[in-house]
Amino acid sequence: MFLVIPPPSNAVTSRLSLGKIDPGLIAYVDDEPSIAPAKGHTRVSKGDVKIDLQGRTLYTIHLRENMVKNARKLVAELPAPRPPDAKENGIEFRGWHRNEMQFLTKALEKDYGFEAVGMTSWIGSTITAYLSDAVAQRLSLDERVYEVEQNSADVKVQHSAVWNDRYDGAELVTWGKQAIGTDDLLTSSNTVYLVDQTPWPHPDLSIVQSTFNGNSITTGDHGTFIAGIIGAQRNNSFSRGINPGATNFWSVDVGDRSPAAVMSAFDWTLLHSEYNQKYGVINFSLNGQFPSSDFRYDLLYGKLIRRASARSMVAQSAGNKAGSACDYAYCSAVL
């Protein structure tokens, strides 16, 4: 089980900003995962795996939550993690994570001779690293670890064409308005998180703020299109989005589309929304690319996304399948 503490009123300053991290401020998992296998288990990807130049495979190391919880007392006096939108996060990815996860990551790196390339600490406790199969097997036997799994290679984004765009004078009105049956009167100031490729620079998307947490930014057409569908401004040129009044729009890109990278993006959104004491919407326009069991609501990545959705509404696409989103969304029970 996990507990979500209601956000304080606007008059209350975030404890993170005061330099004191409150473990109860953000949803935290205190129980062992229901899927935790016996020690010594490694999970093999169903698709192509990510390999580095040294021939090592990209693995996600899932830590046991009771071990992470026990490490809190060892880091109680350390400074609070960096704010989620600190510039330093684009250079060094560790500093915005929970101190206990930073501590455990360094310990495992030293014990097994690897270097982490990513991690999560807010929606769950994972480390991403390129490992030889032998090191991965040794890690799976460590009492701090409950599972080591291979990461699949980057997924390919696809464009759906279920709905139609239309023109209003010189401005293209994107298909999103037709899909949800609304007009420009429907606007919102809620935070919008775009977990996708970073949009290309565009005058219609000047509202979009970009962030990433330690990996290279990957600009692309798909992220640009999706950002336009959501929030392209109404200015009688280019295109117009569903919510042209959006003012708090973040592009969250972590360098690739592997499962670990996607989860790192969700990890950051949870911290950011809690830090700013605002609920938001996470747009996740990927579907049908990962093994279906990965995103099932009660397993692995689906379970981690559920934790992020305690603070934001997750909107996931299913247009490429032209069917019910219930069959393809992260909460799907379909195997």
Q: Are 125 and 68 in contact (CB under 8 A)?
A: yes
pLDDT at 294 over 80: no
Q: How high is the mean pLDDT of the chain?
A: 76
Give CA–CA dist 6/254, Å, rounded: 28
Mean pLDDT over 45-53 rounds to 73
Q: How confident is the model at residue 154 (pLDDT cuts 50, 70, 90)?
A: low
Residue 291 reports pLDDT greater than 60: no
User: Which distant-in-sequence residues (6+ apart) come within 8 Å of 6 by Cβ?
Assistant: none
Instruction: Please answer whether residues 118 and 254 qualify as being in contact, where contact means their C-beta atoms are separated by less than 8 angstroms.
Output: yes
Query: CB 221: neighbour CB atoms within 10 A?
Result: 12
SS3 265: helix
Which residue in 188, 191, 168 sits closest to 178, CA to CA?
Answer: 168
Give the least confident one: 173-182, 200-209, 248-257. 173-182
| Buried-exposed string 134-167: b where 16+ CB fall within 10 A, e elsewhere | ebbebbbebebbbbbbbbbeebebbeeeeeeeee
